[in-house]
Structure 1
Amino acid sequence: MNNANKGSLVAERTLKALMLFSKKKYLSVAEVAASLEISLTAAYRLVETLNNTGFIKREQSKEYSLDAPNILQLYNMVEQDIREVARPIIKKLAMEFRESVYLSIVHNDNSYYSFIEGEDSPSQVKWSEHIGRAYPLATGTAGKTHLAYLIKDLNESEREAIISKMELTPYTENTIVTIEKLKKSLEKILDDGYCYTNSEHLPGAVGISVPVFNFKKTSVGAVLSVFMPNSHFDESELKKYVTSLIAEANKIGKSIP
């Protein structure tokens, strides 16, 4: 193997090692070695390199975890890229729909989500949201869409582990408050490719959300949503909203690695 190929292999392993921490907060050298199918010696060299460059840190348990400052800097760079791409698209949709449009992402612990960009409806009567406020993942149309695609490729026990931890707070009489109903709702989202709710989180508020896939179509990096008072909503136009949202979500997804 020549030096260029060796360098490429090392870079690939390093990125794969970092991605392991998206699934588990703490990892031992042995777990890294097993996941990447490399020797303990090679895994030790890899994690020590990441440790020395500030991307991971060694815990007292001798396991490793992501080191916040450098990872947060990279995260903010990616998030900013998404926001810059999404901003004109969101503004365009808000004017087209004359309703509020928002983009949201999941927090690293997969328990909460936040809106990171949005544009309020130009109408006097509208639904609006605070950028940055965190909501439990099973809350609202955007949260359920995030959750549906988060568990999509997991096995049954892995799904149960995540869903069983969800906060099911009864915000309205339409809020889903049982695990069984939540599961059925998530299955419908995956079957339909979008989520539609009416007064589940806020009385009188309709939400429609679609996933924003990354450019390889291998994962969901964000969710694009439109929100409106239910007095503005005609269910016969649901497909129109979904079609427009999906088309614009695809454009945003090109900025997500």
Structure 2
Amino acid sequence: MSVKSAVRVLEIFELLRNYPQGLTIKEIGTMLNFPQSSTFNLVKTLYEKGYLSRTELKKYKLGPKLIDLGTSSMESMDLCRDARVHLEKLMQQVEETVFMAILSGDEMVYVAKIDNNRSIRTSAQIGSRRPMYCTGLGKAILAFLSNEKREGLLAKMKLEPITEHTITDRNELEKQLRLFKDQGYAIDNEENEEGLYCIAAPVFDATGDVVAAVSVAGPKDRMKKRHEFIVFHVLNTTRTISRNMGYSQTGKEGV
């Protein structure tokens, strides 16, 4: 049996995740249909404990203590911990920024980022979420999901333009995903951020399911000049991580 106050705390966190600029106590209570007195007490407690922070306009947003918890959670994940040495090696080989992401709901969330000293500026950070359809990491995961799960995710997606290069036609996206599965890696060609080009490949677990993806991201011109070189090292890295997770099947594209 769930505890009402605990459920409400989780619902507050889930709500504020979508409002980085924060919400007032009244807005939180109204949007979640909570009594104002309960909302006030919950928000006040979470603020005092550091789980929420408050702006000058008295709006509340997710607080710094959640960062510590999230970091500890990710560090406890075998995948993230065990993969890090291989991600760092990949960064040294290609001299570009390296990312790892996992599927979370109908989005992808970054769980690792290894910067290079010539990394370009990007809004992607550990813990941030992105749509699946416009990122190399997301498309690498989508391409290798089961047909049923991929269709379920695509059916719920609104293919909204993020940049002028974003694919917003489902048929075109599905055609691209089939190509990516055949070649074993995915590409984001300025579809999520202008000027950014990404090459990403899937990571599989012992059951053969795709559980994550690894990408290399950098300026488009520089990445395209070294395209095959980067693809080679990305695939080598994801093969190694997959093997370390117990993946041993043959015949699956890309591994």
TM-score band by shorter chain is: 0.5 to 0.7
Q: Give the residue type in structure 1 aligned to 2:215.
A: S
Residue in structure 1 matched with residue 190 of structure 2 by the alignment: 199
Match runs of 1:94-243 below 5 Å: 94-107=91-104, 109=105, 111-123=106-118, 125-127=120-122, 129-150=124-145, 153-154=146-147, 159-214=150-205, 216=206, 218-235=208-225, 237-243=226-232
- CA displacement at 1:206 relative to structure 2: 0.4
Match runs of 1:31-50 below 5 Å: none
Q: How many Å separate the matches in 2 of 1:119 and 1:77? A: 15
Q: How many Å separate the matches in 1 of 2:231 and 2:122? A: 18
Q: How many Å separate the matches in 2 of 1:159 and 1:223? A: 15
- CA displacement at 1:126 relative to structure 2: 4.9
- CA displacement at 1:230 relative to structure 2: 1.3
Q: Are 1:244 and 2:233 matched, yes or no?
A: yes
Match runs of 1:10-89 below 5 Å: 76=73, 80-89=77-86
The structure-2 alpha-carbon separation of the partners of 1:255 and 1:78, relative to structure 1 and needing over 3 Å to count, comes to farther
Where 1:106 maps in the other structure, the secondary structure is strand
The TM-score, its normalising length taken from structure 2, stands at: 0.62
The TM-score, its normalising length taken from structure 1, stands at: 0.62
The structure-2 alpha-carbon separation of the partners of 1:87 and 1:77, relative to structure 1 and needing over 3 Å to count, comes to closer
> Which digits, 9 at most, give the CA deviation of each residue in 1:45-69, with x for residues without a partner?
xxxxxxxxxxxxxxxxxxxxxxxxx
Question: Unaligned 5+ residue runs, structure 1?
Answer: 1-75
Residue in structure 1 matched with residue 18 of structure 2 by the alignment: none
The structure-2 alpha-carbon separation of the partners of 1:185 and 1:124, relative to structure 1 and needing over 3 Å to count, comes to closer
Q: Give the residue type in structure 1 aligned to 2:107.
A: Y
Where 1:144 maps in the other structure, the secondary structure is helix
Where 1:93 maps in the other structure, the secondary structure is helix
Q: How many Å separate the matches in 2 of 1:256 and 1:78? A: 16
Q: Give the residue type in structure 2 aligned to 1:154.
A: N
> Which digits, 9 at most, give the CA deviation of each residue in 1:7-47, with x for residues without a partner?
xxxxxxxxxxxxxxxxxxxxxxxxxxxxxxxxxxxxxxxxx
The structure-2 alpha-carbon separation of the partners of 1:208 and 1:159, relative to structure 1 and needing over 3 Å to count, comes to closer
Q: Aligned Cα RMSD in Å?
A: 2.6
Is the contact made by 2:74 and 2:80 (CA closer than 8 Å) also made in structure 1? no
Where 1:197 maps in the other structure, the secondary structure is strand
Is the contact made by 2:214 and 2:238 (CA closer than 8 Å) also made in structure 1? yes
- CA displacement at 1:256 relative to structure 2: 3.2
- CA displacement at 1:106 relative to structure 2: 0.5
Where 2:127 maps in the other structure, the secondary structure is coil
Question: Unaligned 5+ residue runs, structure 2?
Answer: 1-72, 247-255
- CA displacement at 1:217 relative to structure 2: 6.2
Superposed structure 1 runs of 4+ greater than 3 Å apart: 76-79, 124-128, 158-161, 254-257
- CA displacement at 1:197 relative to structure 2: 2.4
Q: How many residues align?
A: 177
